[in-house]
Structure 1
Amino acid sequence: MKKTNAMRLLDSKKYKYKTAEYPVDENDLSAVSAAAKTGEDIRRIFKTLVLLGDKSGYLVACIPGERELDLKTLAKTSKNKKVEMIPMKDLEKITGYIRGGCSPLGMKKKYPTYIDESAMKFSSILISGGRRGVQIELEPEKLAEVLDAEVTSISFI
């Protein structure tokens, strides 16, 4: 498998991780689809969301695939009055990644990142590997460490 920026970043830190590849359906790039195709528990597959805060600028949230982001809580936690999802057309320009392949690791710039606290219930979680159809499995503590992320409650069912 060709290394992505996300994998190269983990390699540079000498962090252990596994990768999983699965077939991509361009019409369904959801975490639910990734869970079904990899046979993984949807609660362990974390989607990467990129937002814009009215005070902080861009920020990143990682939440379980079946959950919704709590925008008000994230705004408060990130010291913004409000946060909103960025337009999809801006994703690649801001992160270097395309929809369905956006990893919190190895973005063009390091943005403030927030990981839902439910990640810590698991010995490992899966995040996008930086390309459609690729997941990276690693310890949630290592992900938080490499991203200098805040682990907090930011999602709901």
Structure 2
Amino acid sequence: MASKKTPAVRAAEAAGIRFRLLEYDYDPEAESVGLQAAGAMGIAPERVFKTLVCLLDGAELACAAIPSDARLSLKALATAAGAKRAEMADPVKAERSTGFVVGGISPFGQKRRLRCFLDASAESHNEIVVNGGRRGLQIALAPADLIAALEAVVCPLQAE
């Protein structure tokens, strides 16, 4: 078993927040990592947030955390970030910037901390789940703790 002390877990510990680690068997063939994680852990998909790395105005990388069963509104992200446009980042650039591999990108413990935008639906849950920094590892925590630790911007991010 790989170490549970990923940079994401160490960052959550350093932030002094309460969290639980959850593990599941990662399926590299899954069409949706977030939905596969939710199903494997038996947690409602709207509580399991996927971390998407996006490019703002062709220059700044940022991360958006949205429910695993939702689609990201790039327009909503651009508006929240004060950018003219947003697009999904190249996976290689996302990995290089965060230090995590796709399927294991966490909002916590990124090599270069990106601005974090959290979908407003998170605040309707007592606990949400985000990636723990490697495939098969998740961090369960109160949305308010994630918001405080990452100075996350809370806004509606889901596509209609």
TM value normalised by structure 1: 0.95
Is the Cα–Cα contact under 8 Å of residues 45 and 64 in structure 1 kept in the other structure? yes
Equivalent of 1:27 in 20, 26, 29: 29
Is the Cα–Cα contact under 8 Å of residues 20 and 135 in structure 1 kept in the other structure? yes
Give the gaps of 5 or more residues in structure 2: none
Residue of structure 1 in register with 2:116 after alignment: 113
**CA distance 1:144–1:100, change in 2 (3 Å):** same
Q: What does residue range 1-157 of structure 1 map to in structure 2 within 5 Å? A: 1-28=3-30, 30-54=33-57, 57-156=60-159
- How many percent of aligned residue pairs carry the same amino acid? 36
TM value normalised by structure 2: 0.93
Separation of aligned partners in 2, 1:73 and 1:23: 33
Give the gaps of 5 or more residues in structure 1: none
Is the Cα–Cα contact under 8 Å of residues 72 and 158 in structure 2 kept in the other structure? yes
Structure 1 segments of 4+ aligned residues over 4 angstroms from their partners? none
Separation of aligned partners in 2, 1:139 and 1:56: 31
Is the Cα–Cα contact under 8 Å of residues 24 and 132 in structure 1 kept in the other structure? yes
Is the Cα–Cα contact under 8 Å of residues 118 and 155 in structure 2 kept in the other structure? yes
How well do the aligned residues superpose, as a CA RMSD in angstroms? 1.3
Is the Cα–Cα contact under 8 Å of residues 56 and 78 in structure 1 kept in the other structure? no
